[in-house]
Amino acid sequence: MTTSRSTPLTTQPTSTPAERRRVVFATIVGTTVEWYDFFLYAGAAGLVFSHLFFAPAGAQFATVLAFASVGISFLFRPLGAFLAGHFGDRYGRRPVLMAALILMGAATTLIGLLPDFASIGLAAPILLVFLRIVQGLSAGGEWGGAALMAVEHAPEGKRGLYGASPQIGVPLGLLLASGIMGLMAVIAPGDAFLAWGWRIPFLFSVVLILIGYYVRRNVEESPVFAEIAERKKENTSPVVTLFRKHALLVLVAALVVAGNNAVGYMTTGGYVQNYATNPDGPLGMEREPVLFAVALSGLTWLASTWFAGWLSDKINRRNTYLIGWALQLLGVIALFPLVNTGEVALLFVGVASLTIGLGFTYGPQSALYSELFPASVRFSGVSIAYALGCILGGAFAPTIATLLVQSTGTTVSVTIYLSAMTLIGACATLLLRDRTGIPLGPDAEQEQLSSPFKTRAK
């Protein structure tokens, strides 16, 4: 039952400017730590795990298995999203975020302590995959909570800008993970990197988790959820309600993120790094400069993500996305011709160009998703749609790219695949009606329940 909008409390957040600044800072720090942990595994998959944990499968198949272990975690992200959505819509955004941070950090640290196949045999890859699954569960709960904390605290007309704060945790996490891996490749070159150097970045997660926990515990609960709790309007079964009333919206929203995610995982999933540095591959480039080039591309991704969030407040979410899909398609077409030159500078140009479109199709996402779903099921909606989109998009993108190159002998096949995923994301965006600025509070639920689709079909 929806109440009438008799008070203005739900149209604007009640948090103070100081609290909003704390939320933005805590969101950036927390998501950076989470994605550092998540991308660290992806970056190590082709560089390390294929050699130390999956080597008995043979050179080529070991790489496929290593990238498949990256993708397996995505299959468990919806479970994490279901749990986070249920508890986040019933008990609040903040406790879910704290739990996700601790879970991710514990799994990452244990990976850094894990013996390899030579030491404990088949138990090594089994334990590695199990810890990756734990990372997937954590990631499933992280994004939705961080997105809502940022957007639901945002002042009028700045949801896109505030919502970009959890989004830039992705490029910052990529920059940090690739940068530290690159640094360790210099400190412990050659065999030393495989012997012990790769473990240091995983163990370093302990320090980052402590920092993230300290920052997040000082942030207040989302004002929208605080209103929901005060009015005792929490949904007792938000996931059931979500799929009974909004299943099609979940699917279309998932396709939006899938179009971005498949392309983004060419770098965040470690594919470009492995393709460029594989000694048995066509390029055989040095590991250290490639890792640093990918790390630096995180800066262009950060800038375009933040700018796109700001721009979406000016020209609306839908228009910003459509510009982004066009830029992303251009980046996809240019990527492998530049990487295949074997020149580090041109590889950087390729991955940096790709990140411009990625930023435009990622920066406004927190605000877009938050404005799509009603308040009573919002945490469930954004978390589950995002998790499903990551399965459809990034989960097995590096594995698919590896198999495509092995079967066709050319990266043109990968370009076609990524172009198709970009067009799918663009088509999904075209189906959605722009809802920029719609009230987010529980008293506006009737307005939030109006059709989010461009056709306005019921």
Report the pLDDT value the prediction gives residue 121, as an integer from 0 to 100. 94
Structure tokens at 331: 């980046």
Report the pLDDT value the prediction gives residue 53, as an integer from 0 to 100. 93
Coil, helix or strand at residue 217 = coil
Q: For residue 361, is it within any domain?
A: yes
Report the pLDDT value the prediction gives residue 234, as an integer from 0 to 100. 55
Inter-helix orientation angle 365-372/317-339, to 10°? 140
Q: Which residues, in sequence order, are bridge partners of residue 453?
A: 432
Confirm whether pTM is higher than 0.85: no
Report the pLDDT value the prediction gives residue 254, as an integer from 0 to 100. 96
Q: For residue 7, is it within any domain?
A: no
Q: For residue 387, is it within any domain?
A: yes
Low-confidence ranges of the chain (pLDDT < 50): 1-13, 456-458
Q: For residue 12, is it within any domain?
A: no
Total domains, the chain: 1
Q: For residue 455, is it within any domain?
A: no
Q: How far apart are CA 186 and CA 224, in angstroms?
A: 48
DSSP 222: P
Q: For residue 1, is it within any domain?
A: no
Looking up residue 320, the CATH number of its domain turns out to be 1.20.1250.20
- Largest Cα span, the chain: 68
Q: How far apart are CA 199 and CA 325, in angstroms?
A: 37
Contact in structure between 356 and 117 (CB atoms under 8 Å) = no
Q: For residue 206, is it within any domain?
A: yes
| DSSP H helical ranges for 233-377 | 238-264, 271-277, 287-315, 317-339, 344-360, 365-372
Contact in structure between 198 and 190 (CB atoms under 8 Å) = no
Whole domain around residue 131: which residue ranges?
Answer: 17-448
pLDDT digits (tens, 9 = 90+) for 76-87: 888 888 888 777
Q: For residue 218, is it within any domain?
A: yes
Compute CA 400 distance to the chain's CA centroid, rounded to the nearest angstrom. Answer: 19
